[in-house]
Structure 1
């Protein structure tokens, strides 16, 4: 498995471009719900440094990374090309995290367009230190089937989930989850993070849960499963948000 920074989305290029160029649409796939999400989106996608191509096939975001849209038989291939690393930058140590983040967000973009193009997601997010081991392994996700294959399992959280494997890479697993949406599926992504000397010496993991159109009781039940598991296995980590 490779961490190829591209996805093929079953949508035309104009639909993809709209998801890149309207802040409310970007919020449906970039990151997760947070107090600073809107400011982050504006800084990355809508600052004066951002460059759009006239034909809407290329977008240079703040920092120099480039989105490229290419029509293909199955829809639109969307790829991200990373800018060269500035080793004097404060972000240099986090370069691999940024690469892994783009991989996550590309798959969330594909999911948003293919499964919930007009939906509004509600998310849960948490990050944990690597001291207690890989979250992918601890959750029982190391041996899920190949992308596109169905799965059904009981997570280490105690929650029974089923759906299809959305993607797998060297450090990430994405699963659709039937019970995370009123209609269709939701999405859960678990990503293990590399060690960064002096900053994150033991590595870590993060989890993003995307739900759609669920009631308050259902959302609270999902939160409880994940937060109880987090607290038991990674007691020094911060609660879900």
Structure 2
């Protein structure tokens, strides 16, 4: 459990000027191009987190969002440092059960923000998500044949044959339980592989695969979706 006296701080440096990054945090049409993944309620989620009852300082580039988490932008030699300071655990008891999972989600989403700005100038994306529990308990990267890739440093090139097809690119970011890879096969997209912790509401733990694609036509995206869905149907817990 996270220490209540020192709530997590997540930082990422984006190779872009502060006004560009700030706009990506303030314009709902741009936020939906990096936050989370595509689903029918994404616009409503963006509105509730980033627009409704927030406190934004456009001069200081500080944004306190719904729930109390706080974004701040700072000059950095290579661009703009984005700092996400989490609210202390206990500040919103209704969400305390999910505190660590929300923190992990912010890490993924900030990496998606960095990728969307640096590699695609916040262009529209298309996402594919698989989330649940593996039928055979284990580590997601092992199940996908990515264990050697997971040992590489960020920036290292890789080529992997997964059960759902080849992935080629570079290691984008890693942290405990997460591996993010660029992938040529996703239209220079981003693949996030997340190992979710064991909790009271998920006693067997879980996994999340989040694929962000760019420039794929309907046929190519449908083929991608079919390959990954086929792998997931064979390996997910059948009772879900």
State if a TM-score over 0.5 links the two structures. yes
Which of residues 204, 226, 236 is equivalent to 1:234? 236
Normalised to the residue count of structure 2, the TM-score between the two structures is 0.91
1:64-102 Cα deviation digits (max 9, x unpaired): 001111111100111111001127722111000000000
1:167-192 Cα deviation digits (max 9, x unpaired): 111010001111211xxx11110101
Judging changes above 3 Å, is the alpha-carbon distance between structure 1 residues 74 and 237 closer, same or farther for their aligned structure 2 residues? Answer: farther
How far is 1:23 from its partner? 0.4
Q: Distance in 1 between matches of 2:92 and 2:45?
A: 22
Which of residues 175, 186, 189 is equivalent to 2:181? 175
Identify the residue that residue 22 of structure 2 maps to in structure 1. Answer: 17
Q: Which 5+ residue runs of structure 1 have no aligned equivalent?
A: none
Q: Distance in 2 between matches of 1:29 and 1:175?
A: 15
Judging changes above 3 Å, is the alpha-carbon distance between structure 1 residues 88 and 30 closer, same or farther for their aligned structure 2 residues? Answer: closer
Q: Does 1:195 align with 2:198?
A: yes
> What RMSD over aligned residues (CA atoms) do the two structures have, in Å?
1.6
Q: Does 1:163 align with 2:169?
A: yes
1:104-136 Cα deviation digits (max 9, x unpaired): 000000000001114100001110215522222
Q: Which 5+ residue runs of structure 2 have no aligned equivalent?
A: 1-7
Normalised to the residue count of structure 1, the TM-score between the two structures is 0.91
How far is 1:4 from its partner? 6.2
Judging changes above 3 Å, is the alpha-carbon distance between structure 1 residues 96 and 85 closer, same or farther for their aligned structure 2 residues? Answer: same
Identify the residue that residue 222 of structure 2 maps to in structure 1. Answer: 220
Which of residues 33, 51, 68 is equivalent to 2:38? 33
Judging changes above 3 Å, is the alpha-carbon distance between structure 1 residues 114 and 88 closer, same or farther for their aligned structure 2 residues? Answer: closer
Identify the residue that residue 69 of structure 1 maps to in structure 2. Answer: 73
Q: Distance in 1 between matches of 2:196 and 2:134?
A: 8
CA contact (8 A) 2:49 2:66 kept: yes
Task: Select between 101-110 and 127-136 the one with higher mean Cα deviation.
Answer: 127-136
CA contact (8 A) 1:155 1:161 kept: yes
